[in-house]
């Protein structure tokens, strides 16, 4: 029996040298998160002040929005640079970046996901249109998050007469990955994971760069006993296996077999959402879902569209696709975003983004923190708070139709829906419709150039993106335009000559099936 690859997490992290680049697999909410390795690296650094000046790469935000995940390694001295697709799940690392204590980049999740295939093949980098005219574009910010960050990772280039962005490949030394089962030769399966992610591409990239690949798993199998089609990381790429019987599927679920595809659960057991303004927004967005389309959802209110659509009996009319690689089922909301209940297929993330970038999504519903008059949207950075773009840029830039979902204002907003009318009791303290967004995560200019259909849905108003900017097209029953809408915007939108009232059935607690009659 070959047991030479079986290591403790402590022994694995001893192999990391100063100035190494460490790639951390998995996603936020604990999905395929190599927690034991992150904790062991933290312990080594706190006890020995070594290793130092590491560069971390995380394709999504690996953490729990509190103390877990990559917050374990967010220490001055340990971190020199962080290149991340999303930051909101690791607030301690975000704090280091916002305080200018580390070099920090935010690049699109799909770009980083695909870039590892380029690194593995030793190609110079990734050519793509993704990121043009957003904050990732070097003519705007280049994905740099603070003044300490000066090196350019993105260039504007011309390819076959078309403007593209070029994302440089970079060397990678260490991989922290996670699977479910490993045999004694290091072959790894992922049968209990909610997604496959970029594990194969990362392992190939690190291996071909002469680095070391460490994989945390739940259990150990005998040599040669795994079915070859179930092996997602071949043993030829793996240097160390760390067995952690206590590992959980997510931070919220020890193991949900409906996430991994082991079983299908009855959808009627999904808890209905409370009837409030957030549900109104989600229901209005659900009215735009095309029959038999491919639909993508974001987090927050936009993530609720899947649950609401199921309540409305629409779940068999279309297929959801989540950027982590999950196709079909109902996307999980909240901290477990990235998993889906009853998925039809789970593919690797780079392939999912190939499909997304090429226009495979018919409709995407995403959030919005700020919107300006020309249709730019910010979700990635508010003041000093670094949130990150995640897959937002790939999806929003390439979906055939995009709907941005959110309450009209934020911070203390209180609304009562009664007798089919929307009543604003307390207005939110913070405007979302502003003169200038803090960061351009979605470019209204680029959307107009590509002819993309763009909508903005709130509880009291619906806007569309027109040639000159935002156009008010619908208002909620009970809402007064001047007092409840225009007074809380920093700019004056155009008002459609065909302005109409939002579907009145949206404001009734018991959803009438007639609400869906236009789908």
Query: What residue has token string 């082991």?
Result: 262
Query: If we measure between CA atoms, which residue out of 51, 71, 58 comes closest to residue 32?
Result: 58
At which residue do the structure tokens 């609401």 appear? 308
CA angle 232, 214, 243 (to 5 degrees): 85
Strand 421-426 to 381-382 pairing: unpaired
How far out from the chain centre does Cα 221 lie? 33
Q: How far from the centroid of its chain's Cα atoms is residue 232's Cα?
A: 22
Residue listed under structure tokens 């209110």 = 301
| Catalytic member of 323, 427, 459, 474 | 323
The closest of 298, 282, 347, 349 to 58, measured between CA atoms, is 349
DSSP three-state, residue 497: strand
3-state secondary structure of 361: coil
* 323 carries an active-site annotation: yes
Tokens in use for 132? 């043009």
What percent helix, strand, coil does the chain show, rounded to 5? 25, 30, 45
What distance in Å separates the CA atoms of residue 331 and residue 300, rounded to the nearest whole number?
A: 12
Say how many C-beta atoms besides its own lie within 10 A of residue 419's C-beta: 9
* Matching residue, tokens 């992290």: 13
Neighbours of 76 (CB within 10 A): 11
Q: Could you tell me if residue 300 is left (phi over 0), alpha (psi between -120 and 50 degrees) or otherwise beta?
A: left
For the chain, give the number of residues: 519
Token look-up 């909410």 returns: 29
What sign does the CA torsion over 218, 222, 224, 228 have?
Answer: negative
What is the spatial distance between Cα 429 and Cα 293, in angstroms, rounded to a whole number? 37
> Do residues 60 and 109 make contact, with C-beta atoms less than 8 angstroms apart?
yes
The C-alpha atoms of residue 346 and residue 340 are separated, in whole angstroms, by 10
Cα 359 off chain centre by: 18
> From the CB of residue 421, how many other CB atoms can be counted at a distance below 10 Å?
13
Compute CA distances 26 → 54, 189, 313, 345, 420, whole Å: 19, 14, 32, 18, 44
The helix/strand/coil state of 201 is: helix
Q: What's the chain's Rg over C-alpha atoms?
A: 23
Which contiguous run of DSSP H or E holds residue 285?
helix 277-286
Any idea which residues carry the catalytic annotation?
323
């Amino acid at each position: 029996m070959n047991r030479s690859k079986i290591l403790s997490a402590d022994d694995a992290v001893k192999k990391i040298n100063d100035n190494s680049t460490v790639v951390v697999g998995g996603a936020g909410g604990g999905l395929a998160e190599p927690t034991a390795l992150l904790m062991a690296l933290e312990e080594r650094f706190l006890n020995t002040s070594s290793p130092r000046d590491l560069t971390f790469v995380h394709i999504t935000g690996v953490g729990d929005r509190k103390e877990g995940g990559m917050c374990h390694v967010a220490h001055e001295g340990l971190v020199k640079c962080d290149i991340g697709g999303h930051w909101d799940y690791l607030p301690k690392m975000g704090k280091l970046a916002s305080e200018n204590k580390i070099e920090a980049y935010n690049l699109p999740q799909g770009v980083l996901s695909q870039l590892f295939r380029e690194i593995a093949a030793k190609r110079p980098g990734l050519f793509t249109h993704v990121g043009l005219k957003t904050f990732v574009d070097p003519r705007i910010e280049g994905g740099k998050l603070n003044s300490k960050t000066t090196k350019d990772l993105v260039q504007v280039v011309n390819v076959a007469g078309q403007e593209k962005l070029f994302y440089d490949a970079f060397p990678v030394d260490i991989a922290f990955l996670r699977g479910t089962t490993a045999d004694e030769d290091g072959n790894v399966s992922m049968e209990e994971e909610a997604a496959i992610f970029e594990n194969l591409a990362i392992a190939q990239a690190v291996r071909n760069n002469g680095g070391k690949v460490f994989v945390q798993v739940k259990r150990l199998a005998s040599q040669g006993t795994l079915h070859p089609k179930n092996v997602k990381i071949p043993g030829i790429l793996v240097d160390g296996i760390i067995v952690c019987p206590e590992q959980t599927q997510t931070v919220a679920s020890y193991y949900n077999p409906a996430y991994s595809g082991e079983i299908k659960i009855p959808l009627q057991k999904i808890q209905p959402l409370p009837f409030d303004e957030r549900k109104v927004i989600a229901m209005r967005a659900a009215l735009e879902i095309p029959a038999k389309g491919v639909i993508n959802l974001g987090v927050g209110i936009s993530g609720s569209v899947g649950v609401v659509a199921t309540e409305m009996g629409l779940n068999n009319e279309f297929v959801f696709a989540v950027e982590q690689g999950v196709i079909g089922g109902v996307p999980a909301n909240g901290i477990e975003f990235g998993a889906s209940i009853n998925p039809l297929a789970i593919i690797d993330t780079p392939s999912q983004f190939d499909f997304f970038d090429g226009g495979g999504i018919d409709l995407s519903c995403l959030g919005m923190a700020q919107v300006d008059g020309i249709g730019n949207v910010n979700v990635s950075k508010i003041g000093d708070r670094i949130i990150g773009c995640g897959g937002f840029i790939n999806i929003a830039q390439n979906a055939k139709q995009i709907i941005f979902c959110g309450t009209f204002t934020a911070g203390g907003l209180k609304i009562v829906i009664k007798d089919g009318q929307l009543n604003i009791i307390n207005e939110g303290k913070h405007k979302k419709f502003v003169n200038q967004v803090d960061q351009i995560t979605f470019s209204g200019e680029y959307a107009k150039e590509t002819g993309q259909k763009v909508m903005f849905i709130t509880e009291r108003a619906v806007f569309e993106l027109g040639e000159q900017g935002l156009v008010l097209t619908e208002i909620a029953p009970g809402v007064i335009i001047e007092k409840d809408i225009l007074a809380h915007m920093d700019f004056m939108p155009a008002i459609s000559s065909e302005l109409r009232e939002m579907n009145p059935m949206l404001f009734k607690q018991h959803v009438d099936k007639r609400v869906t009659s236009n789908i």
